[in-house]
């Protein structure tokens, strides 16, 4: 049985109709940036910034972890709150311009559109196809992340329950829709 589920699998055309999903992705990448600190850059000239001198040749990093939890930009930054990216009518607000998980300036991540589109379609498909449920006997520690350069969550147990019969899921993967 299909409960509250679109009868076609999500496509890129559905993207603008799914602001909640985009807000969830923005907040996930803000709350736990995958690349916590950017790549090393070098100052090409002496820079005076807020009374600090950054000499020519100095190595400079953008710290996405710290920038993503500046309370003047993101109130209650430790709280996972996708709503912060939405306006009162549930549309994406202008705050997404504050999003710096992919870096910034001339050396911003060139893969950001590929990454964003891949995350969108993967998550849309997962949520369309499955109910993802926390197991009562296996509480998830949402603070358990590794400290490597590329950060990811520690393993956890969840139940993944198909929303439609597996045979229909298979057919849908080839046809793009179900009867």
Interface ranges with ligand HEM (CB under 6 A): 34-35, 38-39, 62, 64, 101-103, 107, 109-111, 114-115
CB 163 within 8 A of CB 130: yes
Per DSSP bridges, beta strands 52-54 and 41-42 are unpaired
Nearer to ligand HEM, 102 or 172 (CB): 102
Residue 29 CB, nearest distance to ligand HEM (Å)?
A: 6
Show the CA angle centred on residue 61, arms to residues 29 and 65, nearest 5°.
30
Rounded to whole angstroms, the Cα distance separating 53 from 156 reads 45
The answer to whether the CB of 165 falls within 8 A of the CB of 173 is: no
Report the residue number, 151 or 163, with the smaller CB distance to ligand HEM. 151
Compute the least distance from the CB of residue 101 to ligand HEM, in Å.
5
Q: Which is nearer to ligand HEM, 111 or 176 (CB)?
A: 111
Nearest approach, Cβ of residue 57 and ligand HEM (Å): 17
> 160 phi and psi, to 5 degrees?
-120, 110
Residues 67, 29 contacting (CB under 8 angstroms): no
102 or 120, CB closer to ligand HEM?
102
63 is in an annotated binding site: no
Report whether 22 contacts 120 (CB < 8 A).
Answer: yes
- The torsion angles phi and psi of 133, rounded to 5 degrees, stand at -125, 135
Nearest approach, Cβ of residue 177 and ligand HEM (Å): 29
Smallest distance from ligand HEM to CB 66, Å? 13
Known binding-site residues equal 109
């Amino acid at each position: 049985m299909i409960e509250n589920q679109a009868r076609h699998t999500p496509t890129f055309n559905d993207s603008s109709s799914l602001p909640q999903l985009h807000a969830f992705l923005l907040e996930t990448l803000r709350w736990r940036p995958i690349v916590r600190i950017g790549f090393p850059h070098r100052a090409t000239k002496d820079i005076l910034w807020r009374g600090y001198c950054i000499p020519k040749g100095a190595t400079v990093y953008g710290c996405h972890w710290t920038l993503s939890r500046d309370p003047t930009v993101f109130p209650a930054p430790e709280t996972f709150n996708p709503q912060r990216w939405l306006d009162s009518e549930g549309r994406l607000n202008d705050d997404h311009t504050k999003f710096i998980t992919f870096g910034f300036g001339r050396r911003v991540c060139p893969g950001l559109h590929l990454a964003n589109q891949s995350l969108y379609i993967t998550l849309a498909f997962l949520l369309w196809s499955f109910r993802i449920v926390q197991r009562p006997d296996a509480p998830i520690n949402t603070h358990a992340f590794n400290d490597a350069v590329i950060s990811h969550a520690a393993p956890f147990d969840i139940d993944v329950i198909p929303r439609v019969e597996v045979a229909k899921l298979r057919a849908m993967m080839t046809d793009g829709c179900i009867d």
